[in-house]
Homo-oligomer: A and B are copies of this chain.
C-alpha cells in the first residue's frame, strides 16, 4: 500500500518488497503520443511490416516509453521524498512489450546506508516490471537519497554490488527476433553492426527544443507524479525557479536524436549507467553525441550484434563547440555546464 505522504528513510527495510500501484495498459495512443513528444522514427516501433519482418508479432512499444511508465510506478513509494535520484544501473530490457500489454512493477530494497548527518540515507532498490502474463519485461536497480522523518536508529549499512555494465552474456535476446532478413532501406541508414568501430564518435545532426508543455505532457503520460515536474507555482519558490524536466524524458529526446547515424540500433538491450549532469528546463534545445564504447558479438547468433554506446546529451550549445564533456572549475573536474546527460547503454543492431 502506498504510504500517504510517501516513505521516509526509516520506512525502508532490507529485503522489503513493495508492490507498486496503478498497473498500466500501454496502447497505440501512448505510442502515437510518444512519437509526437520525441520525434522518434525507429520503424520497429511504428511500422507493423518492419516489426513482422524482424519476427515480432506486432510493433514493439518503444523501450524507453515502456521504461518510463514502469519506472513511474515506483515514484509514489520510493522517491516522492527523495532528496536526489543518485543513479541507476543494470537496466535490462528482458522481453518485447507490445501495444495492449499491461505492466506492473515491484521493487525490493537491496541496500540501505544512512548518511553521517543522520538526516537522510540512501536506499537501493531492484525493480522488476511484469506484463499481464507475469512475464518479466524490465528490471533495474536505482538508488535515491531519502529524507529521514524520525529519530529511529540507523539500520545496518548494506550496499549492493552494482555491475559496471550488463555483460554480453546477460543481454536478453527475444526468442522470436530474427534479423536475417533485415533490410536497411526501411531505416535509410546503411551502416550495420559490422560497420561501427569502437572509439568512433558521432555528432548527430539534429537538435530538438522541448517546451514546458512537451515535458509535462510526457511525464504525465508516464504517470510519473514527482511534483517538481508539474507544479510551477511551488517550483517558483525553489532555487530552480521553475518546473524541472524529468531526466528520463531527456534520455528519450536524445535517443530520438541519435536516429541519424544509428538508424539500425533498433532495440535497447540494456542501460548500464547514467548521469543527469545538469538540470533541464522547458525551452532547452537538445543535441546528441554518441561514442561507441564496445562491440560485442551475440553468442550463437550471426544476424545481430550489440553495441555499447555512450550518449552525451547537450543543451543550448552547438556540438562543434563542445571540446570536452568535463571542465575544470575551482580546481575540480565537473561536467561542462551544457552537458545534461551522460548515458552508457547497449543496443542491438543487425549484422551484414
A: residues with CB less than 8 A from B are 1-2, 4-5, 19-25, 27-33, 35-39, 41, 43, 46-50, 59, 76-77, 100, 102, 132, 184-190, 205-209, 211-214, 216-218, 220-221, 223, 225, 227, 230-234, 243, 260-261, 263, 283, 285, 316, 318
Knowing A28-B28, A209-B232 touch, does A2 contact B33 (C-beta < 8 A)? no
Closest to A42 in B: B22
Docked complex Cα distance between A47 and B185 (Å): 36
A1 adjacent to B208 (CB under 8 Å)? no
Q: Give 12 pairs: A residue, B residue, CB < 8 Å, sorted on A.
A: A1-B189, A2-B189, A29-B32, A29-B33, A32-B221, A36-B221, A41-B223, A47-B102, A48-B100, A76-B260, A209-B232, A234-B285
Partner of A25, one of B41, B48, B209, B283: B48
Q: How many copies does the complex hold?
A: 3
Q: Which of chain B's residues have a CB closer than 8 A to the CB of A100?
A: 48
Knowing A1-B184, A132-B49, A225-B41 touch, does A209 contact B23 (C-beta < 8 A)? no
Q: Which of chain B's residues have a CB closer than 8 A to the CB of A50?
A: 23
Partner of A230, one of B28, B189, B190, B209: B209
Rounded to whole Å, the gap between the CB of A280 and the closest CB of chain B is 13
Rounded to whole Å, the gap between the CB of A46 and the closest CB of chain B is 5
A211 adjacent to B213 (CB under 8 Å)? yes
Knowing A27-B31, A102-B49, A206-B227 touch, does A22 contact B1 (C-beta < 8 A)? no
Q: Which of chain B's residues have a CB closer than 8 A to the CB of A38?
A: 220
B285 adjacent to A209 (CB under 8 Å)? no
Closest to A260 in B: B4
Q: Which of chain B's residues have a CB closer than 8 A to the CB of A186?
A: 21-23
Knowing A48-B25, A227-B206 touch, does A32 contact B30 (C-beta < 8 A)? yes
Q: Which of chain B's residues have a CB closer than 8 A to the CB of A28?
A: 27-29, 32
B211 adjacent to A216 (CB under 8 Å)? yes
Closest to A58 in B: B25
Knowing A188-B20, A263-B21 touch, does A285 contact B29 (C-beta < 8 A)? no
A232 adjacent to B30 (CB under 8 Å)? no
